[in-house]
Amino acid sequence: MNFKHLSDQQIHAIDQAHVWHPYSSLSQPLPTYHVTSASGVRLQLADGRALIDGMSSWWCAIHGYNHPQLNAAVSAQLGKMSHVMFGGIIHEPAAQLAQRLVDITPEPLNKVFFSDSGSVSVEIAMKMALQFWQAKGQAKKSRLLTLRKGYHGDTFAAMSVCDPDTGMHHLFNKVLQQQIFSESPRCRFDEEWQPHYLADFEGQLSRHKDEIAAVILEPIVQGAGGMCFYSPEYLKGVRALCDEHDVLLIADEIATGFGRTGKLFACEWAGISPDILCVGKALTGGYMSLAATLCNDRVSDGISESEAGVFMHGPTFMANPLACAVANASIELLLASPWQDNIARIEAQLKEQLEPCKALSSVADVRVLGAIGVVEMHDFVDVAALQKQFVEAGVWIRPFAKLVYIMPAYIIGEADLQSLTSAVVGVLADGAR
């Protein structure tokens, strides 16, 4: 076989024989689609079709694909060095990125630990919380309080704080650390706030405060666990209760960071700052895998001034220069753009054009926040069947569980976004007949 150039047939043959895709079975594989290139909001298929991308590659390609400014940042850094170990070494892209993150995230977050994926950044956040309390002589504070319908990643510690029933990891429940779960917030984002919405959370925190190292949650938007949007007042209340009971707060902004909800970071909706913050996904504009975990002085001083004196973690590709360089370019591109206007425009169009789905008997709910549009079905969807119908409609939308959702790039135009929403309404209406 000539590996310099594989035919479409050869690529699919190798894929079917050897490649294990995420959340898939090798004995009953889902169909795959051969993408040869991508530009703007379009994915080019080998068969000549172009698909309008409604997923921004699992929410990270916020500027679209093949962006000249991001391409230039990677090329310029590649000519200097693609990678160097971070133990005992610093380089300009990492220093620039650390300062940028400190500048744009909620105060007083001012320490940055780099890693190479969102799941790992969550692992790091959890380790920070555990090591902090060990340093304080309170090692019994070793569990996490989190929310049902939450999702925080696929690595082992991260799995333990995902919903044990709906969080995709129930097969591992018996071997995971047993964490503490509160009910998912019952107050929708735009719903009138009632104090009783915090009752279950407050009860769990009060009963277990002596063993809880930290609360971990996704602020405002619970992502892959259910795409639920909850009231900023809930988040304000969580921050106040963590302070009252001397428990750290970890905010997982991997999906929500960098403008997706209409604020640069979702914590801003509530005007709060966590003790530890996780970012990833859109950090590099979808170009490379990179994540970061930020913390405040209290956490960093507690760990650094302990008997151990060091934080016990060190990824091989930590602060990869290529990834840091493109992350700097992505943040600069975002902040220089009218991103808030773009998000508001996308939100308004999603609300208007997904509204017809509410009339379908198969649909349980339609909700929109920022550049996130969600149609929740009563029943689990047939992913392969819906995917095929969406591709035939000229769009790339990947449903999961009971959800059909859109999270497009911020640069998407009105016509392309209408193609996405029309496909959702049309395909779901056809299925309801």
Catalytic (active site) residue 151: yes
**Neighbour-count burial of 219, counting CB atoms closer than 10 A to its CB (0-12 exposed, 13-18 middle, 19+ buried):** buried
**Host H or E run for residue 193:** none
Which residues are within 8 A (CB) of 335 and not within 5 positions of it... i.e. 6 or more apart?
A: 104
Distance (Å) of CA 132 to CA 253, 275, 280, 297, 305? 21, 11, 23, 11, 10
Set 53, 116, 252, 275: catalytic member: 252
Name the β-bridge partners of 43.
Answer: 38, 51
Token pair of 12 as six digits: 């699919």
Catalytic (active site) residue 33: no
Beta strands 248-252 and 212-217 are parallel
Whether omega before 274 lies within 30 degrees of 0, making that bond cis, reads no
Which residues are within 8 A (CB) of 142 and not within 5 positions of it... i.e. 6 or more apart?
A: 130, 133, 211, 213
- Cα gap 166→179, rounded to integer Å: 15
Measured torsion, CA atoms of residues 11, 396, 66, 373, in degrees rounded to the nearest 10? -150
Give the single-character DSSP code of 115. E
Set 151, 230, 405, 410: catalytic member: 151
Token pair of 407 as six digits: 């999270």
Displacement of CA 10 from its chain's centroid (Å) = 33
Q: How big, in percent rounded to 5, are the helix, strand and coil portions of the chain?
A: 40, 15, 45
Set 154, 281, 405, 416: catalytic member: 281
Catalytic (active site) residue 410: no
Catalytic (active site) residue 136: no
Set 4, 23, 190, 379: catalytic member: 23
- Cα gap 331→405, rounded to integer Å: 25
Q: Active-site positions?
A: 23, 151, 252, 281
